[in-house]
Amino acid sequence: MGEIVREPSINPPAPELPNDDLMHRIAGTADKTWFWKSGQISIDQFDLVLAHWERSLTDFPRALDFGCGCARIELHLEDAAKRMEIYGVDIDAAAIAWAAEHVPWAKFSVNRGLPPLEFPDEHFDLVFNHSVFTHLDEQYQDAWLVELERVTKPGGLLIVSVSGEYPFSLLEKEWIGCQRDPEPLREILRNRGILFISDDGMQNSPFPDFYHTAFHAPWYIFERWGSVFDIKAYVPRGDLNYQDLLLLRRRDQRVGAVAPLRKFSSEEGASREEISHLEMALRRAEQEKQTLKENFSAVLNSRSWRLTAPLRRFMQGIRGR
């Protein structure tokens, strides 16, 4: 479950859709057109990140939508279900009831707030989700990362979304507009790598007590989540142009626990965020250096460079006199 940033002016088609309340819970709007179209957009964006692995969503024999809500994505997978098994789980019993009645080509069930799921070990070739880890605290996240590792086959893939820099920047603007200082939140995200806001106005919502708002710094994902899964892609705003999208690979040997953050002393002279920026800058510099090297090599091997060699030697001789 989770909010989806709405894009304007999408023309409707659509079969029978959930009621306004169910759509609003997952999409943040009761706009039927957007709810319908966003499901296909998500599939297309999942395919884009899976292209890093030369796969598409429908290439997997058995897939799980973790946090499927009222089948926003599964509504578009009727044809795909003829060649793959599709499962969906969610904590929202009403959403699952609607999905089970209206989307017979997939299998739906209700899960609890914490593991386990009802599936056996190594059951799925692919697990995908939109906006679940964006609403869980660190304890719940760790538990579900380990559980998703359990139900995914060795070498299987996971597509997971997180709220990164862009959603957090919007939160900052909102706080500033309300004359509140967001810097303490920024400081937590910068130094801790994860920010969980329980006082987010969702206390009297249809969602459970543990379900609130979480943001992640990329270095935290690579350090902590990377201790369980191989991170194959990280796409900023790759999920509905809002959340960041991850492609994870389940290792051959099960890890079974998320490693704690290593101790990081201020004596090391820089924060994790600063080191992350330096590493990114270094990678860019290496790429630019390689590009310059390739361009220079191309110039040296060019016909014009060879033809002007005598003139360059003549000019060097003049300068040397």
Q: How confident is the model at residue 7 (pLDDT cuts 50, 70, 90)?
A: very low
Determine, yes or no, domain membership for 11: no
Q: Are residues 258 and 277 in the same domain?
A: no
Q: Are residues 168 and 296 in the same domain?
A: no
Domain count, the chain: 2
Please tell me the distance from the alpha carbon of residue 180 to that of residue 6, in angstroms, as a whole number. Answer: 26
Q: Are residues 52 and 139 in the same domain?
A: yes
The verdict on whether omega for the bond into residue 115 sits within 30 degrees of 0, i.e. cis, is no
Q: Are residues 218 and 306 in the same domain?
A: no
Determine, yes or no, domain membership for 8: no
Domain harbouring 32, CATH code = 3.40.50.150
Please tell me the distance from the alpha carbon of residue 274 to that of residue 178, in angstroms, as a whole number. Answer: 29
CA 21 vs CA 13, 25, 32, 37, 187: distances in Å: 20, 6, 11, 18, 36
Specify whether the CB–CB gap between 67 and 243 falls below 8 A. no
**pLDDT for res 312:** 44
Q: Are residues 91 and 235 in the same domain?
A: yes
- Residue whose pair of structure tokens reads 């380990």 in the numeric block: 146
Q: Are residues 164 and 75 in the same domain?
A: yes
**pLDDT for res 300:** 46
Q: Are residues 30 and 76 in the same domain?
A: yes
More confident residue, 39 or 273: 39
| Pairing outcome for strands 194-197 and 213-216 | antiparallel
Determine, yes or no, domain membership for 112: yes
In eight-state DSSP terms, residue 76 is G
Determine, yes or no, domain membership for 224: yes
Q: Are residues 251 and 314 in the same domain?
A: no
**pLDDT for res 186:** 95
Determine, yes or no, domain membership for 105: yes
**pLDDT for res 262:** 82
Polymer length of the chain: 321
Domain termination residue (choose one: 243, 262, 281): 262
pLDDT of 105 above 60: yes
Residues spanned by the domain of 208: 20-262
Q: Are residues 80 and 226 in the same domain?
A: yes
Please tell me the distance from the alpha carbon of residue 51 to that of residue 47, in angstroms, as a whole number. Answer: 6
CA-nearest of 70, 69, 74 to 57 is 74
Q: Are residues 166 and 304 in the same domain?
A: no
Find the helix packing angle between 272-300 and 183-192, rounded to 10°: 70
Determine, yes or no, domain membership for 5: no
**pLDDT for res 9:** 38
